[in-house]
Amino acid sequence: MTTTYEEIAKDLAALKSPPNMPDYEALRASFSWDTVRAELDLPNGVVNLAHECVDRHAARNPAKTAMIWEGANGSVETYTFEDMRRESAKFASVLASLGVQRGERVFFLMDRVPELYFAVFGTLRRGAVICPLFSAFGPDPIAERINRAEGCVVVTSPALYPKIEAVRARTPSVRQVVVIGDRAGRRGPEGATLDYATLMAGAPEAPLEPTANEDWSVIHFTSGTTGLPKGGSHVHGAVLGHYATGKYVQDLQPGDVYWCTADPGWVTGTSYGMFAPWSNGVTSLIYEGGFSSAKWFELIQRHRVTVWYTAPTAIRLLMKAGLDIPRRFDLSSLRYTMSVGEPLNPEGVVWGLEAFGLPFHDNWWQTETGSIMIANYPALPIRPGSMGKPFPGVHPGIIDDHYREVTEPDVEGQLAVRVPWPSMMRAYWNDQERYDSRFKDDPDGGPRWYITGDRARRDADGYFWFVGRDDDVINTAGHLVGPFEVESVLIEHPAVAEAGVIGKPDPVAMEVVKAFVALNDGYAWSDQLRRELIGHARARLGPGVAPREIDCLDHLPKTRSGKIMRRLLKARELGLPEGDTSTLEED
Ligand code: AMP
């Protein structure tokens, strides 16, 4: 059965269009990043994402559609590469007039509207650094991130502005807030904010800042087990990774209409919602609205989407909604579909085949790697449930606890990647110690390892299989949540003495955030207190981060040194063996 559908899938892909990488092994053997560099247009050694994604296509093919935008209300707008160039060049001069210098950080708390993309490329063109925020964050994660990277400007929308207003007093580095008015005519409050349209009206087009390979471009905050989020910091030279993986993993071709469903507040929404398609000069669909099974298929039909990049949580929701829905639409334009962000179960891979005749190709990467590292490719048979094989030009491996590569097949270990590669993060912003801790020497003398924090195994044919996280970070609907951030907010509530936060398995979102609390003297557990704590956490953290469930315990299991044993909380929650409890504090 497996072979049959692998063959069908391969044949279908082959029928619709020959892939950019017809032979995986051949490209892996001959791959060189210098060849990729030569395909990009790097004028006088200048490397700038805005040039690679916008200007060079505007110069060659100005009238080509770069963006098809569909608003939540169904209205459609299209923008050419020349439109993108002009608007981003104007925004770069707006930033210059606001005194934003090269290397300064501009934060974005935005929904998906065309102006967001103009402003992002305007910021990159200015040589300033973009820092995306997730629009479902509450005030605490927003303030924490702005302060960590000392943001000087925030770009937001009228609907999201109240979240910025709420943290204005505790984000002293922010000099201006620019509000992009919405299509209903709403603007930001005068005096407190600057209006995007007014600023842009008279703005001249700014030239491109001559940034180089190692200049900062993007900071994406990501969560860890301990401490507050880390600012994974990337450079303009990362575009080599976006471009090459867009070409060979996503198989982007000139006639494609590409759709990435990821939110621009997370790394997939920038690396693959903006940089990969546009560095390949491909038309990209941007949909302002959120998930809806029927609407999503209607979008594919209406805009003749050919290449689709989505996530397992969305696929599971589509599966739940049933096969009748996709069958109502003409999805014949699709030629290639992919998934990222969480493990994609084999059922999800096969479901694509049933729903529209194409399997989902899973691939793996993370904020720190900047671009896809392991993937299933059009030219290789999919192994359902596997993340695929290494991208040519990068060298992931399975390592043991001494950082030695495990060469035997099917042995579980830490997933690591040999350094360097072009899109690798170059820092955790202002946190050298945590950055350094992610790199280890190979005892056998090979290039150093970057430690991903995931566990995996590799089979005898070189396919990688995800096993789980090697830390306590929670993956809820493809978004990472750090338990420490949630625990810190819970213990600020007067009733809470201690808090421990875990990811509880969930059939749709993979994991949901679950908290355990122990109460201070004088407080009694009740449903009302549970609701109050959930409300407290939602108000502070936002619905994307706050716990969905909270239970109360007499006390939380701790090590003798006083650290809450989240692993034990999880094992007890799931009824699993408790493992090594020798460090558990005696009652
Ligand atoms: P982020 O840095 O937010 O992009 O999250 C990256 C993490 O998501 C990885 O370290 C994995 O834990 C998880 N992840 C991403 N893609 C996959 C995948 N294809 N299969 C399993 N886990 C994945």
Type of residue numbered 485: E
Selection from 343, 353, 447 nearest residue 399 by Cα? 447
User: Would you say the CB of residue 466 lies under 6 angstroms from ligand 1?
Assistant: yes
Under 8 Å between Cβ of 255 and 261:
no
Residue 2: what pLDDT? 43
Residues 162-186 have pLDDT tens digits of 999 999 999 999 999 999 999 999 9
Q: How confident is the model at residue 586 (pLDDT cuts 50, 70, 90)?
A: low
CA distance 459 to 2: 17
Give SS3 for 30. helix
Residues 97-142 have pLDDT tens digits of 999 999 999 999 999 999 999 999 999 999 999 999 999 999 999 9
Of 454, 481, 511, the one to substitute when testing ligand 1's pocket (max ligand atoms within 8 A of C-beta) is 454
Q: Which of 450, 469, 488 is where one domain is finished?
A: 469
Type of residue numbered 92: A
Give SS3 for 428. strand
Give SS3 for 238. helix
Please tell me the least confidently modeled range out of 4-8, 175-179, 373-377, 447-451.
Answer: 4-8
Position 312 in a domain: no
- Counted domains in the chain: 3
CATH of residue 527: 3.30.300.30
User: Would you say the CB of residue 480 lies under 6 angstroms from ligand 1?
Assistant: yes
Residue holding tokens 């491109």?
A: 208
Q: For helices 139-149 and 527-541, what crossing angle results, to 10°?
A: 30
Residues 62-86 have pLDDT tens digits of 999 999 999 999 999 999 999 999 9
Domain coverage including residue 481: 474-574
User: Would you say the CB of residue 311 lies under 6 angstroms from ligand 1?
Assistant: no
Of 263, 469, 480, the one to substitute when testing ligand 1's pocket (max ligand atoms within 8 A of C-beta) is 480
Q: Supply the residue whose CA is at minimum distance from atom 7 of ligand 1.
A: 366
Residues 390-425 have pLDDT tens digits of 999 999 999 999 999 999 999 999 999 999 999 999
Instruction: Write out the DSSP string of 441-503.
Output: --TTS-SPEEEEEEEEEE-TTS-EEEEEESSS-EEETTEEE-HHHHHHHHTTSTTEEEEEEEE
| 211 lies in the same domain as 269 | yes
User: Would you say the CB of residue 269 lies under 6 angstroms from ligand 1?
Assistant: no
User: Would you say the CB of residue 222 lies under 6 angstroms from ligand 1?
Assistant: yes
Strands (DSSP E) found in 103-172? 105-109, 129-133, 151-156
Type of residue numbered 319: M
| 463 lies in the same domain as 478 | no
Q: How confident is the model at residue 1 (pLDDT cuts 50, 70, 90)?
A: very low
Q: How confident is the model at residue 6 (pLDDT cuts 50, 70, 90)?
A: low
Of 345, 364, 377, the one to substitute when testing ligand 1's pocket (max ligand atoms within 8 A of C-beta) is 364
User: Would you say the CB of residue 199 lies under 6 angstroms from ligand 1?
Assistant: no
Q: How far does residue 178's CA lie from ligand 1's centre (Å)?
A: 32
| 199 lies in the same domain as 220 | yes
Residue 59: what pLDDT? 97
Q: Which atom of ligand 1 is nearest to the CA of 266?
A: 3
| 559 lies in the same domain as 494 | yes
Q: Supply the residue whose CA is at minimum distance from atom 5 of ligand 1.
A: 366
Please tell me the least confidently modeled range out of 6-10, 90-94, 130-134, 556-560.
Answer: 6-10
pLDDT averaged over every residue in the chain: 94
Q: Which of 230, 257, 290 is where one domain is finished?
A: 290
Residue 402: what pLDDT? 97
Residue 10: what pLDDT? 53
Q: How far does residue 545's CA lie from ligand 1's centre (Å)?
A: 17
| 479 lies in the same domain as 465 | no
CA distance 453 to 389: 18
Under 8 Å between Cβ of 57 and 278:
yes
CA distance 96 to 111: 24
281: region left, alpha or beta (phi > 0 left; psi from -120 to 50 alpha): left
Q: How far does residue 478's CA lie from ligand 1's centre (Å)?
A: 7
Q: What angle do CA 251, 255, 256 make, to 5 degrees?
A: 50
Position 308 in a domain: no
Instruction: Write out the DSSP string of 486-553.
Output: HHHHHTTSTTEEEEEEEEEEETTTEEEEEEEEEEPTT----HHHHHHHHHHHHHHH-TTTS-SEEEE-
Q: Supply the residue whose CA is at minimum distance from atom 16 of ligand 1.
A: 341
Displacement of CA 136 from its chain's centroid (Å): 14
Q: How far does residue 468's CA lie from ligand 1's centre (Å)?
A: 10
CA distance 71 to 504: 34
| 411 lies in the same domain as 544 | no
Q: How far does residue 233's CA lie from ligand 1's centre (Å)?
A: 17
| 483 lies in the same domain as 421 | no
Position 123 in a domain: yes
- Give me the percent of the chain exceeding a pLDDT of 90: 90
Of 368, 455, 464, 466, the one to substitute when testing ligand 1's pocket (max ligand atoms within 8 A of C-beta) is 466
Give SS3 for 13. helix
Q: How far does residue 365's CA lie from ligand 1's centre (Å)?
A: 6
Q: How far does residue 512's CA lie from ligand 1's centre (Å)?
A: 15
Position 284 in a domain: yes
Q: Count other Cβ atoms within 10 Å, centred on residue 144.
A: 18
Q: How far does residue 364's CA lie from ligand 1's centre (Å)?
A: 6
Position 3 in a domain: no
Under 8 Å between Cβ of 66 and 83:
yes
Position 48 in a domain: yes
CA distance 503 to 480: 10
Structure tokens at 322: 């049933």
Selection from 76, 81, 142, 143 nearest residue 117 by Cα? 81
Residue 389: what pLDDT? 98
Selection from 349, 269, 259 nearest residue 306 by Cα? 259
CATH of residue 243: 3.40.50.12780
Residues 227-259 have pLDDT tens digits of 789 999 999 999 999 999 999 999 999 999 999
Instruction: Write out the DSSP string of 277-315.
Output: HHHTT-EEEEE-S---HHHHHHHHHHHT--EEEE-HHHH
User: Would you say the CB of residue 340 lies under 6 angstroms from ligand 1?
Assistant: yes
Position 4 in a domain: no
Residue 17 has pLDDT above 90, yes or no: no
| 437 lies in the same domain as 538 | no
Position 369 in a domain: no
| 433 lies in the same domain as 490 | no
Residue 271 per-residue DSSP state: I
Of 220, 342, 415, the one to substitute when testing ligand 1's pocket (max ligand atoms within 8 A of C-beta) is 342
Q: How far does residue 22's CA lie from ligand 1's centre (Å)?
A: 27
User: Would you say the CB of residue 455 lies under 6 angstroms from ligand 1?
Assistant: no
| 282 lies in the same domain as 410 | no
| More reliable by pLDDT, 17 or 333 | 333
102 CB-near residues (< 8 Å, 6+ apart): 126, 127, 128, 209, 211, 215
CA distance 140 to 403: 36
Selection from 479, 474, 472, 473 nearest residue 136 by Cα? 479
| 248 lies in the same domain as 133 | yes
Q: Which of 421, 454, 469 is where one domain is finished?
A: 469
Residue 584: what pLDDT? 73
User: Would you say the CB of residue 362 lies under 6 angstroms from ligand 1?
Assistant: yes
Selection from 36, 39, 31 nearest residue 392 by Cα? 31
Residues 487-498 have pLDDT tens digits of 999 999 999 999
CATH of residue 434: 2.30.38.10
Residue 224: what pLDDT? 80
Residue 544: what pLDDT? 87
| 566 lies in the same domain as 453 | no
Q: How far does residue 379's CA lie from ligand 1's centre (Å)?
A: 23
